[in-house]
A and B are shown apart, each in its own frame.
Chain A
Amino acid sequence: SAVISQKPSRDICQRGTSLTIQCQVDSQVTMMFWYRQQPGQSLTLIATANQGSEATYESGFVIDKFPISRPNLTFSTLTVSNLSPEDSSIYLCSVADRAKETQYFGPGTRLLVL
């Protein structure tokens, strides 16, 4: 499976600021996604990161709050904007190959908003 890295691994931010999370894959992948895992909860899909075009957001998530970029097939960023304590979560990127369908997760970014 692909090797997936995320930066930063964790961060503490003040409310009202923004955090940009990077996801890097060691091989070209068709599909990249961003998920949120709130403390003690399951995973919720935020959006599909589309290469060279606007991301596709799930219900309840908007581009102004979670802007996403995907300039190529190995890299994506998620920005969490105008932070509030409710944004404290783990944010995970995942990758999938269209042919194999199996999806693998990055190590996650643990965000705490004060």
Chain B
Amino acid sequence: GENVEQHPSTLSVQEGDSAVIKCTYSDSASNYFPWYKQELGKRPQLIIDIRSNVGEKKDQRIAVTLNKTAKHFSLHITETQPEDSAVYFCAASRSNDYKLSFGAGTTVTVRA
């Protein structure tokens, strides 16, 4: 099955700086890569996703890049704010089964 590795496990950044989280996957058939943000005590919320026919996608301060050859994808958060503090999960799935395999998560702390 799919194995998704996520790094780093924790990330502390100064407010206004950028944060980058990286994930690798093992199944070359995976073609859908969402990112979820989970605040303490709340449900995971989809913040951005990318499909294998796209190399990069941006939504305001958040961007995701995908390198299918190397089987890795990354989340970039620019101009971080205290409300960006949360646990972020990457995931991967095949389009024919929609089953998400999650990375271990990254705890992001934005220092004011």
Contacts and interface: CB of A to CB of B under 8 A. Distances in A.
Tell me, yes or no, whether A binds B. Answer: yes
A101 B103 contact: no
Interface string B6-49: 00000000000000000000000000101010000011111001
B43 A92 contact: yes
A105 B98 contact: no
B46 A104 contact: yes
A85 B34 CA distance: 32
A17 B37 CA distance: 33
Q: Is the interface of A mostly helix, strand, loop or mixed?
A: strand
A102 B43 contact: no
A1 B46 CA distance: 11
A43 interface: yes
Contacts of A102: 34, 46, 49
Quick one: which of B42, B43, B104 has the most chain A CB within 10 A? B43
Interface in A75-114: 92, 94, 96, 98, 101-108
Interface residues of B, number: 22
A2 B105 CA distance: 25
B1 A105 contact: no
Contacts of A108: 43
Contacts of A106: 43
A31 B32 CA distance: 16
A55 B41 CA distance: 28
B43 A101 contact: no
Interface of B: 1, 32, 34, 36, 42-46, 49, 51, 89, 95, 97-105
Interface of A: 31, 33, 41-45, 48, 58-59, 92, 94, 96, 98, 101-108
Given A105-B44, A105-B45, A106-B43, 13 more contacts: A42-B89, A42-B102, A42-B103, A42-B104, A43-B100, A45-B100, A45-B101, A48-B97, A58-B99, A92-B43, A96-B98, A101-B32, A102-B46
